[in-house]
Structure 1
Amino acid sequence: MDPCKVLQPHGVLICKSCRYACLIQEVTNHLRTKHRHLSAQQRATIQKAVGRLPSLFHNQDSLNFFTLPACPVPAILDLAGPHFDGLKCDRCQYIARQDRLTQEHCRIAHDWVNPRKPGRTTREIPAFSNPWRSGVPCQRFFSSRRASGWFEVIIPDASLPGSPGT
């Protein structure tokens, strides 16, 4: 199980190389496609060891019960990041790293209307504040598909790799 690690408080298996969570049923495919340096025997041994692990998320359907941390948690060093460009909604826990996605969320979930209309210059618009915070440190467990949302993290030490100023 060398390239994998169990992150028990969250019930996920982390690939140490990719630094993202991997579902039990997808470990073999993940190792075959992302870690070709491993032999078929090594992959089979890892899959067998992983298959015996209790109470981990096994497939995409099981992720319906996966919840992201609701409150900021200390950065998880086994995961990729943290990223320092998160945009967090002021009204809920939603975090994205792109303006377009954050605006879309606020428009759909909270009926937000952008005061900047197309074609107008900034000088014509009075100052306003967006309904989100920028520069939020964030991480995510899965790189795509279900449960790949971002969550806010607390940076206990400015010497973390990738933090501003390093």
Structure 2
Amino acid sequence: MFIDSSQPIPLDDHLCFSLYATSRAIQKLYHDGLSEHDLTYPQYLVLVSLYQYDEVSVKRLGELLSLDSGTLTPLLKRLEREGLLVRNRSKKDERVVKVHLTTEGRNKRQEINDLPETLVEKSGFTKDEWDTLENLSKKLFNNITTK
């Protein structure tokens, strides 16, 4: 075990706080670039996912983004009102709603393509350090979310 549970852990030694603070800092870094395009961070993630997967069900999109339908549906409605995506019921199963980007949505995704590069540059990490961080982060997420 890495942690001595006989003593309270100082705030700076809490991994959960470090990850939380880092996540907020990344979102703040992205905020300026996103606000120029009238997007929030969650909306950005929707555009990124739909650009990558082309057309997905709302359920699958929620799984990809770790968002429940109560959070995801308002995001999708706003992006649809802005002409960035389209939601359609599946012809095979009307209970399934499919989502895909419009041409305008694809263009908007291209406009904000440099945001991850900004983060990589600011990190000061080497490629190996970046890859290690990404792999460990994914492993941690999978380990704590797998039942």
Q: Highest CA radius of gyration, 1 or 2?
A: 1
The reply to whether TM is greater than 0.5 is no
Higher helix proportion: 2
Instruction: Flag the structure with more relative contact order, 1 or 2, with Cα contacts below 8 A and sequence separation at least 6.
Output: 1
Tell me the TM-score normalised to structure 2 length: 0.28
